[in-house]
Amino acid sequence: MTDSVDGSPSTEPAHRDERLRLFSFATAEKRADYLRVLDAFDRARAAYVVLLHADDVATWIDAADPAPADASPEPTRLTAAEIGPLLDQLHRWGVLERSYDGSRAATLAEYRNRHFVYQFAQAGFQAYRAVAGVLEARLDDVALPRLVLPELLADLEALAEANRGADAERVYRTLRRLDIALTDMAGHAAQFYLSLGDLVRTTEITPEAFLAHKDALLAHMREFGLDLARFAPRLAAAILAVEATGLDELIERAARCDERVLLSPVRRQADWRSRWDGLRTWFVPPEDNAGTEAERLREATMSAIAAVLSLLRRVTETRKGGVSRESALRHLAAWFTAAPSAEGAHALFDAVFGLGRPRHLATEHPDADIVPAIRSWWEAPPLEISRTLAETGRPPSAGAPARIHRNDAGIRRLRETQLAAQRERAAAARSLAGADVHERVLDERETEVLLRLLDAASTAWVPVSGRVGGTTGSDSGVTLTVSAHTGSTVVRTAAGMLHLNNRKLEVRQTTRASARKTATGEGDRA
C-alpha cells in the first residue's frame, strides 16, 4: 500500500481498490471458512500470539469449536492441508502478512518447502473487525446517551484545571477521554434515530409491541432533549474557559504525550487541533451564527417525538377503524396481481391514481410571432386553456348551451327501487326486534340487518387501553346492544352460525320508531 508525501493514506483510485479488496473474504464462496480462520487469528492475538502456522490455526479452530451438546450439526473440521490455501488467498487479498519460519525446518528439504507463518496485516485487521462488528451488531440495542452530558462537563472543567497547571499527561488523558465520549455520543445518537426512522416506516412491528413501549420511548427522548437544552450552554461556557487557559499550549501538551510514535509531532498537533475543533462545533456556535451540532441534535429529537406521536395516531386509528394504509395497499397489490391482462392492469392503475391521457396537445399560442408552434415545450411558457377543455378534453363550442336532458322515468324507477329496498329492510328490522335473536333462526334479510348493526357497533368495540362493557349500533329503526356475557353465545342464521365470545346481542326498536308506529296505529284506529 502506498502513502502520500506527508504520510497520510493516499486517495488514488488504485489505493482505494486495494483497500476494498480486503473485504473479498466476506463475499467469497468459502466465506464461512475464511471467517473461522480469521477468528482464530483474532483469538490468538488476544492471547498475545501473533505469528501462526497452518497447524497452529487448525489447533485454535478446534479449540473454538467444541462438540455441540444438543442435536445441532457439528461444524466441519478444517485440517492444516485445507487451511494452507485459505491462508495463501488471504495473503493475496492483503488481509494477512506472511514470512518464512526457518525454525520449523529439521532438514534442508523441509527448509526448502518454505514453512510460512502468518499474522494480521494492519489494514487487514481493520477489515476483519469491520465485518465482525456488522455480524455481532445488535440493531435493537440503541439509546440516546443522556448520562454522558454531565461527564463531558466534568471532564472539560478538569481539562481547564490541568492546562492551567501545565500537567501535560493529565491534559492528554482528559482530552482523549473527551474525544472518545463525544464520538460515542454522536454514534449512538445517529444509530438511535436511524433505528427510530425504520420503526416509523416499517410495517413489521405490531401495534401491541409499539403501544407497549411508546411511553418509555417518548419519556427517553423528552429527557434527552431537556438534558441537552440544560447542559449545552454550560458545556459551551466550559469550552470557552478551556480555550482561555491557552489553546495552543493545550494542543502542544496533548501532542507531546501522544504515544503514536509513527506520526510526526506536526501531524499529531494537527490531529488534536482537528479533534478540538470538532468538539467545539458541537456546543459553541460559529461566527456566522449557524446552528451547533447540539442544536441540530435537539431539533432531531423534537422531530422524532412528533414522528412517534404521528405513528401512535395511525396505530390508534388502525385499531379503531380496522383499515390502514398498509391494508389498502395490500388489497391494491392483490388486485394488480389478479388482473386478467396487462391492459386491465393499466386501466386499474389509471383509475386508482387518477391518471388519464394528455389533453390540449394541439393548442397554439394566440400570437405565433411571440411563441411559434415549433418551439420546444421545455422552453415555451404555459398557455391558458378553458375549463371545458381541461375537464372534458373537448374545445369549448360557440353558441347557446345545449339542452339538459332529464331522464325522469329512469330517476323515478330508481327511486321506487330504493324505497322498496328500504321498506324490506325496515320490515326485516322490525322482525329482528320482535324476538330474541339467540332463540330462533334468522332469515337472509334479518341476517343482513344484524350484520349492518354489528358493523356500526364494532367501530367502538376495541379500545386502545382499558375495557368496554358494551356498545350499540342503530339502523333501520332498531338498536343493537352488544353487552358483556360470561361464556360464548351463538346466533343461528340461514347462512350458518355466528359465534360470539363473551358477548350477547339484544335488538330492540328505537324510541322514535316505536312512538311513530304507535301514532300511526292510533290514527288508523281513529
Separation CA 294–CA 320 (nearest Å): 39
pTM greater than the 0.85 cutoff: no
Greatest extent of the chain over all pairs of C-alpha atoms, in Å? 132
DSSP helix/strand/coil, 365: coil
Sign of CA dihedral 344, 345, 346, 350: positive
Strand partners, 96: 120
pLDDT at 213 over 80: no
Q: By mean pLDDT, which of 71-75, 100-104, 121-125, 308-312 is the weakest?
A: 71-75
Tell me the pLDDT of the chain averaged across its residues.
76
| Helix or strand holding residue 475 (H, E) | strand 470-475
> Cβ–Cβ contacts within 10 Å for residue 59, how many?
15
Residue-wise over 426-438: b if at least 16 C-beta within 10 A, else e?
bebbbbbbeeebe
Q: Which pLDDT score, from 0 to 100, does residue 6 have? A: 46
Structure confidence at residue 223 (pLDDT):
79
pLDDT at position 304: 74
State the Rg of the chain over Cα.
39
CA distance 498 to 446: 13
CA angle (458, 464, 468) in 5-degree steps: 55
Percent of the chain with pLDDT over 90: 2
State residue 305's pLDDT score.
73
pLDDT tens, residue by residue, 344-390: 888 888 888 876 655 555 677 777 778 887 888 788 888 777 777 77
pLDDT band at 522 (very low <50, low <70, confident <90, very high): very low
User: What is the reported pLDDT for 413?
Assistant: 92
| pLDDT at site 140 | 53
CA distance 457 to 507: 12
Question: Which range (164-168, 283-287, 505-509) has the least confidence?
Answer: 283-287
**514 pLDDT tier (thresholds 50, 70, 90):** low
DSSP state of 9: B
Placement of cell 487557559 in the chain: 245
Q: Which of 10-19, 87-96, 506-515 has the highest mean pLDDT?
A: 87-96
pLDDT of 68 above 70? no
Exposure string of 200-210, with b = 16+ CB inside 10 Å and e = fewer, is eeeeeeebeeb
> DSSP labels for 159-204?
HHHHHHTT-HHHHHHHHHHHHHHHHHHHHHHHHHHHHHHHHHH-S-
Supply the pLDDT for residue 81: 83
CA separation for the pair 83, 33 (Å, rounded): 9
User: pLDDT tens digit string along 313-339?
Assistant: 766 666 555 556 677 788 888 888 888
**Of the candidates 120, 101, 115, 117, which has an alpha carbon nearest to the alpha carbon of residue 25?**
120
Q: Give the residue-averaged pLDDT of 404-428.
A: 87
Q: What does the pLDDT read at residue 103?
A: 61
- Where residue 463 falls among pLDDT bands split at 50, 70, 90? very low
Phi-psi region of 246 (alpha: psi -120 to 50; beta: other; left: phi over 0): left
Condensed to tens digits (0 to 9), the pLDDT of residues 131-149 reads 888 777 665 555 666 677 8
pLDDT, mean of residues 458-485: 62
At 461 the pLDDT is 56
Residue 365 has phi, psi (to 5 degrees) of -70, 140
Helix (H, G, I), strand (E, B) or coil at 507: strand
Residues 6 or more apart from 220 whose CB is under 8 A from it?
Answer: 143, 144, 146
Tell whether the model's pLDDT for residue 114 goes beyond 80. Answer: no
- Residue 304: is it exposed, middle or buried by C-beta count within 10 angstroms (0-12/13-18/19+)? buried
DSSP-derived 3-state class of residue 5: coil
**Residue 484 has what pLDDT?**
82
Mean pLDDT of 29-36: 88
What does the alpha-carbon distance between residue 92 and residue 198 come to, in Å, rounded to a whole number? 39
- Cα 186 to Cα 192: distance, rounded to the nearest angstrom: 10
Which has the minimum average pLDDT: 173-187, 436-450, 509-523? 509-523
CB of 149 closer than 8 Å to CB of 182: no
What pLDDT score does 1 carry? 39
C-alpha cell at 178: 473527551
Query: What is the rounded CA–CA span in Å between residue 436 and residue 428?
Result: 14
CA distance 382 to 365: 9
pLDDT at 316: 67
CB within 8 Å of 366: residues ≥ 6 apart: none
Q: Could you tell me the pLDDT band of residue 416, with boundaries at 50, 70 and 90?
A: very high
67: DSSP letter: P
Instruction: Name all domains of the chain by residue range, CATH numbers in brackets.
Output: 13-67+75-136 (1.10.10.10), 148-309 (1.20.58), 433-525 (no CATH)
Cα torsion 211, 216, 222, 228: sign: negative
The pLDDT, as a whole number, for residue 288 is 66
The answer to which of 220-234, 415-429, 479-493 has the lowest mean pLDDT is 220-234
Question: CA angle 487-491-492, nearest 5°?
Answer: 135
